[in-house]
Amino acid sequence: LAKTTQPISMDSYEGQEVNITCSHNNIATNDYITWYQQFPSQGPRFIIQGYKTKVTNEVASLFIPADRKSSTLSLPRVSLSDTAVYYCLVGETGYSTLTFGKGTMLLVSP
Amino acid sequence: NAGVTQTPKFRVLKTGQSMTLLCAQDMNHEYMYWYRQDPGMGLRLIHYSVGEGTTAKGEVPDGYNVSRLKKQNFLLGLESAAPSQTSVYFCASSYSSTTYEQYFGPGTRLTVT
């Protein structure tokens, strides 16, 4: 699995756009990039997954440059309820290899 | 549709005791997983199953056993609990091996004294 590096924590205010970048320099050709969100005392929740360029859903956007050595999760107009830990995962899609790092703790303030 | 449920939600064990954690999913998913999460850490995969009757070891399998006798259930057993197994345990399931979208349960908080 490709190792990922992301900031330990980030702060933001309500209504702002938040971009969390993840580095994965040794990403393999077949690897996908996936982001999860985890609230305190809950299990992680899938946010978005992508392979290249840009992916958007109702919750977030995922930007992946051409070299795929990094990716950016973009959360538009965050609210207090977006305070959570965000995990970036990289690997070949399959059943055996979800590896979570320590994630990024996002704190949204009023 | 309850999704993924875990039983119990909390448990306190003494060292050497045994217990079984139950995970159930009603989404007809083939794949199921057990993770543990320690303070300040991400999740670590303990065991997983790719279908009824199958199990495989994950990253941290020692001290745990699992069984998948029915497609909807995945059991995690601790034969002789140790304080190092104090953790929050999460079960998850997924419908396909072509996606990383796993559905997680609410977790079981286990304390071993």
A-chain residues near B42 (CB < 8 A): 87, 99-103
Residue A1: what pLDDT?
A: 55
Q: Is B9 exposed, middle or buried (CB count within 10 Å of its CB: 0-12, 13-18, 19+)?
A: exposed
Cross-chain Cβ contact B99/A93 below 8 Å: yes
**Residue from B94, B100, B103 whose CB has the most chain A CBs within 10 Å, to mutate:** B100
**Residue from A39, A71, A93, A98 whose CB has the most chain B CBs within 10 Å, to mutate:** A98
Residue B5: what pLDDT?
A: 97
Looking at CA atoms only, how far is residue A4 from chain B in angstroms? 12
Instruction: State what percent of residues in chain B have pLDDT above 70.
Output: 97
**Residue from A36, A51, A92, A95 whose CB has the most chain B CBs within 10 Å, to mutate:** A95
Higher-confidence position of B100 and A85: A85
Residue A12: what pLDDT?
A: 97
- Which residues in A48-78 are b (16+ Cβ under 10 Å) and which e? bbbeeeebeeeebbbbbeeebebbbbbbeeb
What's the Cα-to-Cα distance from A42 to each of B5, B7, B12, rounded to whole Å?
A: 12, 14, 19
A-chain residues near B92 (CB < 8 A): 43
CB A22 within 8 A of CB A7: no
B-chain residues near A91 (CB < 8 A): 100
Residue B107: what pLDDT?
A: 96
Chains A, B: CB contacts within 8 A come to 62
Give pLDDT tens digits along chain A (110 positions): 568 899 999 999 999 999 999 999 988 888 889 999 999 889 999 999 999 999 999 999 999 999 999 999 999 999 999 999 999 988 766 545 677 888 999 999 99
Residue A90: what pLDDT?
A: 86
Residue B98: what pLDDT?
A: 65
Cross-chain Cβ contact A34/B98 below 8 Å: no
SS3 content of chain A, % helix, strand, coil (to 5): 5, 50, 45
Residue A23: what pLDDT?
A: 94
